[in-house]
Structure 1
Amino acid sequence: MELGMVGLGRMGANMAERIIRGGHRVIGFDPGAAARQAAQAKGIVPAASLAELVAALPVPRAVWLMVPAGKVVDDTIAQLLPLLAPGDLVVDGGNSYYKDSQRRSRELAGHGIAYIDCGTSGGVWGLKEGYSLMIGGDEAAVARLGPVFTALAPAPDRGWGRVGPSGAGHFTKMVHNGIEYGMMQAYAEGFALMERKEEFALDLHQVADIWRDGSVVRSWLLDLTADALGRDARLSSVAPFVEDSGEGRWTVAEAIDLDVSAPVITLSLLERLRSRDKDSFTDKLLATMRNEFGGHALHAAPPATGKPD
């Protein structure tokens, strides 16, 4: 099978390479010349433009997008639309908001073009281990790309499937990422508790390694945690600043819309936001209130140095 891959960053290039290993041909485009050159070394046929990519694909065409969610997806589709024809197929494998995917599916259907939203999990390990694929869209369109999905998945019969109509793939991936937030927060809090218990001088790498086998809390996340603690048990080189991709926010908003209680996911998102506050007004005000009503001592702020952070 032949596929066009738009976006040859870390995820897109690795996915294309795995598809090629599965016996397929991939033509790839990225606006960055360096990315195209690096992709060529992986066996991807580089295209200098979207027009060149589309022209190189057999009809009916299949184009997979691995570009940032939001405006970039819409802009890319707008550029592709005049180049495509009825019967062609577009896949969005990024972390798009599911309602955007539903809208895009309707818009492309008006041009006779199928649209598949594919929630993709696996990160930097996907090339080696395979990707988990949560797929939304028309059954016939999904079946048509079956050979590509089986090449990307951990095994032909595991780790992938059509979960529902348009939007269902990205909705499922959104919830997946919300769950991920909660799991990561629970591990982080538990290990922080053990790290603080100086009386026992616990070896956190050893504990993580013990838990990897037979424990109820064993998981791939724990495997990765053990590996990280083995390299740097104190995480001395890591700043306490946690990014979020946006999907945790969407999950919390959806929980509110559906009247579903999701306190763990919600609080894990709020903890990520809190990690970014280097000069917390919240904490300052809490300390001030304790001083006002109870006379509890205040810790003085360090003098300003006049130097930028």
Structure 2
Amino acid sequence: MFNTIGVIGLGVMGSNIALNMASKGEQVAVYNYTRDLTDQLIAKLDRQSLNPYYEIQEFVQSLETPRKIFLMVTAGKPIDSVIHSLLPHLEAGDIIMDGGNSHYEDTERRYDELKAKGIQYLGIGISGGEVGALKGPSIMPGGDKEAYEKVAPILTKIAAQVEGVPCCIYIGPKGAGHFVKMVHNGIEYADMQLIAEAYTFLREKLLLEVHEIADIFETWNKGELKSYLIEITAEILRKKDEVTGLPLIDLILDKAGQKGTGKWTSMQAIDNGIPASIITESLFARYISALKEERVNAEKILTGPKNVEQNLDKNEWIDYIRQALYMGKVCAYSQGFTQYKMTSELFSWDLPLENIALIFRGGCIIRAEFLNVISESYQAQPNLANLLISPYFAEKLIDYQIGLRKVVCEGINSGISFPCLSSSLTYYDSYRTGNSNANLLQAQRDYFGAHTYQRRDLAGVYHTNWK
């Protein structure tokens, strides 16, 4: 019997994807460049349909045609290397799927190169971490729709299911799937930073204990802030260190890492004139966190505002921070979905925004209660320019802006850094400003560079001799 699909790359994610496929009835061939990971995976098995191979040719020959090969390999050159090793053994019509965090432009290059050889290529964004990979992730496939339809029966089975609907849809051509995953990660960066800033306010301004903050996040997770990241934050804050008995959060070094997708999101937005300020600030927050030694030294030299101690009504301010966090999250998702919309128009991808919101409801890291509302907003207005002006969110933000303004101002007055909360407020205020100060910027550009300008009252393009 031939295997129905093959998985190459048996790290944590690859192993779990393979186990997921096997648990759904697929006959799965597995291969890893080094033998040890293959042996470790097979040692775990309990009557599951995984078949190990230690030579790439045997692995390929074990697959039914057209062959379906799923790569879970480190992004970059390793993927090119694996593809190069596969090509001598493949035939026209075979399908390679890249399930890693590849840059969408690399996916487009590989798509073109393989199409010329008759090989079909899908770039597949996957979100959900190791648990999602095993139990059901959110899956974002891009490439030729014909190729997707051949693998859809497998992908939709292994995806997370919400109300009986798989969190997997065809995203669009070429690199669209990996692009959607990239921006998903950018939203994730912003969402995480916003939550961290809310935690900081509760801890440093309201002087709450860690267990009290855990209770607050647990309560928030029962309402409109319900989301995976809010849920795990409550669990993180409850975790005690086994050695000291202290909250583990207090023993974790404040240096945050990043693997590139947030940076790629910001760079793509900058390159194409798309406002993604909250996402970018969350990236910069990670960069400055890495300067731990410098920050410790600067704390001895630089001071913040004096005499900021005051008694704040805890219940009142807990609700303000709830409003601020909700508004910040909506602004961050709005920037991400605006990036989808503007890039879709730029590349003629026709991204299905209402369905992208739906597949984010299960399995993935940014799953949240209000994704249903986001989907409904795009269903009601397919050409919606920005989520901020959809009726549901507009009403919420008008109401909740008071909380965000109070929290940001209190943070500024207290010397607390709120890069994403303050950026969210700036984004909201900038977007709702019909007449901005950009007229002065354009006048300055014309003064020193003769860059010209347009007038409010007359058609055409103008230049002034300002002297």
* TM-score relative to the length of structure 1: 0.88
Question: 1:256 and 2:270 equivalent?
Answer: yes
Indicate the structure with greater strand content: 1
Worse overlay, 60-69 or 189-198: 189-198
Shift, 1:37, TM fit? 1.2
Contact 2:255–2:292 (8 Å) recurs in 1: no
- Tell me if 1:66 matches 2:72: yes
3-state secondary structure, aligned to 1:111: coil
1:274 aligns with 2:283: no
Q: Aligned match of 1:195 in 197, 203, 209?
A: 203
Equivalent position SS for 2:5: strand
- Counterpart for residue 215 of structure 2: 206
Q: Counterpart amino acid of 2:24?
A: G
Which is worse superposed, 19-28 or 197-206? Answer: 197-206
**Is structure 2 residue 188 aligned with structure 1 residue 180?**
yes
Moved more, 275-284 or 9-18: 275-284
- 5 Å matches for 1:149-164? 149-155=155-161, 157-164=165-172
Matched, 1:134 2:146: no
- Name whichever of 151-160 and 109-118 sits farther off: 151-160
Maintained 8 Å contact 2:254/2:292: no
Query: 1:240 and 1:281, CA in 2 relative to 1: closer, same or farther beyond 3 A?
Result: closer
Q: CA shift at 1:275, angstroms?
A: 1.3
Alignment of 1:115-130 (within 5 A): 115-127=121-133, 129-130=135-136
Evaluate the alpha carbon distance shift between residue 33 and residue 237 of structure 1 in structure 2; reply closer, same or farther with a 3 A threshold.
farther
Any stretches of 5+ residues in structure 2 without a counterpart? 241-246, 305-467
Q: Indicate the larger mover: 54-63 or 243-252.
A: 54-63
Closer, same or farther: CA 286–163 of 1 in aligned 2, 3 Å:
farther
Amino acid at match of 1:7: G
Q: Secondary structure at the match of 1:217?
A: coil
Would you say the 8 A contact 1:4–1:57 is kept in 2?
A: yes
Instruction: Find 2:236's aligned residue among 223, 228, 231.
Output: 228
1:192-228 Cα deviation digits (max 9, x unpaired)? 11111364546111111111101x2220111111111
Measure, in 1, the Cα distance between the counterparts of 2:20 and 2:303.
57
Higher helix share: 2
The SS at the match of 2:106 is helix
Are the counterparts in 1 of residues 190 and 278 from structure 2 also a CA contact under 8 Å? Answer: yes
Aligned-residue offset at 1:248: 0.5
Q: Secondary structure at the match of 2:198?
A: helix
Aligned residue number for residue 56 of structure 2: 50
Long gaps (5+) in structure 1:
291-309
The amino acid across from 2:273 in the alignment is D
> Once superposed, what is the RMSD of the aligned Cα atoms?
2.2
**Whole-angstrom CA distance in 2 between matches of 1:101 and 1:192:** 39
Deviation at 1:49, TM superposition (A): 2.3
How is 1:74-93 mapped onto 2 (pairs within 5 angstroms)? 74-93=80-99
Quote the residue 1:32 is aligned against: 34
Paired with 2:159 and 2:303, the residues of 1 have a C-alpha distance of 54
Identity of aligned residues (%): 35
> Residue in 2 aligned with 1:18?
20
User: Whose Rg is larger?
Assistant: 2
2:112 maps to 1:144: no
1:300 alignment counterpart? none
SS at match of 2:146: helix
Gap change, CA 1:36 and 1:199, over 3 Å in 2: closer
Given the two structures, how large is their TM-score scaled by the length of structure 2? 0.59
Query: For the Cα contact (< 8 Å) 2:142–2:174, is it kept in 1?
Result: yes
Q: Any conservation in 2 of the 1:51–1:83 contact (CA below 8 Å)? A: yes
Contact 1:182–1:268 (8 Å) recurs in 2: yes
